[in-house]
Structure 1
Amino acid sequence: MENQKIGAAIIGSGNIGTDLMIKIMRNSKYLKFVAMVGIDPESDGLARAKRMGAAVTHEGVEGLVKLPEFKEVKIVFDATSANAHIKNNEILQLYGVHVIDLTPAAIGPYTVPVCNLEDNLSAPNINMVTCGGQATIPIVSAVNDITPVFYAEIVASISSNSAGPGTRANIDEFTETTAAALRVLGGAKSSKAIIILNPAEPPILMRDTVYCLVTGNNCNDEIKTAIEKRVAEVATYVPGYRLKQDIQFDPIPSDEIDLFPELKGKSGTKVSVFLEVEGAAHYLPAYAGNLDIMTSAALVCADAMAKNIQ
């Protein structure tokens, strides 16, 4: 029943916030979209939200808490920027709402649905890491479930057209937050994250390359099975998430082992995984898989939290 759903609001009326709004209205089982918040009174996101019957304000989080509809809100998505989220979260926590952070601010625990959603259902604030993190952490975690990952490196390549002001302003936070989450959630002992904004025309789909360094070379079949299973799990909520080509296993030559101190003189294997993420094109273009995977993951988390609140 509609009146049994949990009220939700979105701060950030740009591309991510607008796409998320449409996903909530079309796909959510437990959320009722109540309000859209922005700072530009002329934004397309606010206009669309108003046409769809939601309350709107261009006065930021301060305007949200003044809306009569705010009393219905139990979950708030923040799709602004890392710096803005700090203030937004401070105000929202005064009202006891659950905050889902789509910025790299990382105030709350890193959350990737297939890795640790159930652990964070009651958290006052959860962090969705980054688009690159949502795409690659599940893979590193899957490999680490089979054998320890001594080093993980990911390269996220996205269309320059799908990188808005927030993404561009948060490049440093992207690399730092993603690398940290590869260790915390992925289980890697050490890690690195790289993002590339590709200006190609026509725009490219999101591509993610994952490198994992593991010891030995006797569990390749188990690693392959674990990765394929994890890809299928992520694809249940991001249908455009897929392997782009076969998983590669490259033994580290004996004369190069010393170049990898993580191996401590043992034999090792580099596992290379190549991913592609195509968006659902609810509001964003299909090439913006980097944004779609964030909104899709956030909705999965919010629905689970709303179900837990009921």
Structure 2
Amino acid sequence: MFIGIISKVGIQKSINLANELQDSLSANHDLWLSDVDEIDNFKDDFSNTDLLITLGGDGTILRVARSTIGYDIPILGINLGRVGFMTEIPYNDALKQINYVLSNFSEMRIEERIMLNAKGMSDNKQFELNALNDIVLGHQSVSRLMDIDVYVDTSPMAQYRADGIIISSPSGSTGYSLAAGGPIITPEQKLMLIQPIAPHMSLDVGVVIPYNSKISINITSPNKAVVSADGFDEVVLGSTDTIDVEISKSVTKFIRLLPESDFYSQLTTRLKRDVLKNN
């Protein structure tokens, strides 16, 4: 097998584990190793890669998913982060579980999660963003309420006065959207969630949008805004700029050892663990 191992600079456990995996796997597999921030340097290897092993948290996976979109490479996540909704294998059990996956690769369950695609105009130039978690529209600098018109399949849906708006995938429903008061959606669903950020005298609940719809966003306030994908790739928008968000034709694939029902059994545990680490 041709395996990519993606570590995270600044996390010593991640670097140490990458070195251990290189020593352990190189005899039987072809490998390439990269820091997550340098993964784009290995694009020539993506088409031949059978598996990506990420050594970090959910943020590492978000970066990898966006960089490798369209290549259909399954990801095996080793959790070195805080919550780990996407990373299934704990650090202390990594070597054992990775060897099990490689020995039983053809029998492993593949979980597919939708991605979001956003296209728009900024300063008369077209841009395109891809995200596994969310597309977020927010302030560029001045903390004032934004006026945002939202359409679904060209039909007016809502006029928001808010700090911003989140277009979330099911994967992103346990992230920023949850902090903004949105619902949790199981990861296998194929839908989008429109979640306002601190709305004022406007629709203040999330709205679920089906998989085959298009969400169009117009900014009607004079202040500039910023749109980002998974917290990266910020694009500045003015009052005449627009964004269209749809479910991408590409998906992110994960190798899973546990059944789908594990999402429910681990949900409260993961959220409590994050709360405890922040207190």
TM-score, normalized by length of structure 1? 0.28
**TM superposition score normalised by structure 2:** 0.31
> Which structure dedicates a bigger proportion of its chain to helix?
1
Higher percent of residues as strand: 2
